[in-house]
Amino acid sequence: MRQTMGRARRRVRENGLSLVLLAVFLALLVAQAIVGSHEFNADRAEHNLPLVALPQYLATGHFVETTAEN
């Protein structure tokens, strides 16, 4: 058990930068999805179109395009 904990700590220490960058990337991707969804729905509301939920927004071209641009 103690040996396993030592291995896990060593792996985290050796890959710390990669883990931090992955966490930042995922946080920014979530933020992009939330902000993009609000922007997309605001545009749809201006044109009297029904709003879409966040999971539906993730399948739209708008999400794919804005994510690829960033």
- What per-residue confidence (pLDDT) applies to 1? 63
Residue 14 falls inside a structural domain: no
> Per residue in 12-69, pLDDT tens?
899 999 999 999 999 999 999 999 999 999 999 999 999 999 999 999 999 999 999 8
Residue 62 falls inside a structural domain: yes
Residue 69 falls inside a structural domain: yes
Calculate ∠ Cα 24-62-28, nearest 5°: 5
What is the pTM assigned to this prediction? 0.79
Residue 39 falls inside a structural domain: yes
Number of folded domains that form the chain: 1
Residue 45 falls inside a structural domain: yes
Domain containing 42 equals 24-70
Residue 1 falls inside a structural domain: no
